[in-house]
Amino acid sequence: MPHHHPDPSTVLAYAAGSLPTAFAAVLAAHLEVCPTCRAAVRDAERAGARLVEQQEGAALSSGARDAMRARLSGTAMAPRPLLHDAPRTRDPDRLPASLQPFFGPRYSDLRWRRVVPGVQYLRAEADADGGLMLLRIAPGRGIPLHRHAGHELTMILDGAYADALGRFGAGDVADLGEDVEHQPVTVPGRPCICVAATEAPMRFQGWMARALQSVLRL
């Protein structure tokens, strides 16, 4: 069971169909393993349905109403959440269903690109409407202090890291707003694999560049 969850505002945005695709994919991956957040999404969708029925647009902008309608009718671009419990026996080689359209079904088929020793990444193949990438970081590796330029949603898929906010293991989400500074260190034993959605790919490039520059100096 995950210990770190997305911000309630991120869950609401997901339920309303207004999260960018990359963020929705990461959030849906968390929903696959988090009954607490699945319940929160269901509550928000019910509340949204009531709003649409009762207000008929008075309280919602037409854009928000359209997004909600699309969401409720299943035509939203964002991947649909799996609102049922995941099977008990999970194939450890299979990626979460919501990430498979972007990266394929199996970890063993991923073609990692090494950026520096100990750090590999893989960018989403499909257009993810924002940055979406997998990171694989060697055990016991420090990623130096860095500042986020925009909203970033990260979920741990395997392994773990720790920073000032706590220990983040498989299923946990770090929902970091702008101007959050942190200094994660992957735990020993196994590589940390995570998926990260970022608001602005170019800024993330900048972040990667700065972080990896510092990694090289370690």
Query: Where on the chain is the footprint of Zn ion (CB under 5 A)?
Result: 5, 34, 36-37
Tokens of 216: 């090289």
Our CB check for Zn ion shows the closer of 41 and 122 to be: 41
Residue 125 beta carbon to Zn ion: minimum distance, rounded to whole angstroms: 27
CB 16, min distance to Zn ion, A: 17
Closest approach of Cβ 38 to Zn ion, in Å? 8
Strands (DSSP E) found in 30-159: 113-116, 119-123, 131-137, 146-147, 152-158
- 34 or 51: CB nearest Zn ion: 34
The least distance separating Zn ion from the CB of residue 5, rounded to whole angstroms, comes to 3
Beta bridge partners of 142: 185
User: Is the Cβ of residue 36 or residue 183 nearer to Zn ion in the bound state?
Assistant: 36
- Report the residue number, 5 or 203, with the smaller CB distance to Zn ion: 5
Helices 35-55, 8-15: crossing angle, 10 deg rounding: 50
Angle, to 10 degrees, between the axis of helix 21-31 and the axis of helix 8-15?
Answer: 110
* CB-facing half-sphere around the CA of 114: CA atoms within 13 A: 5
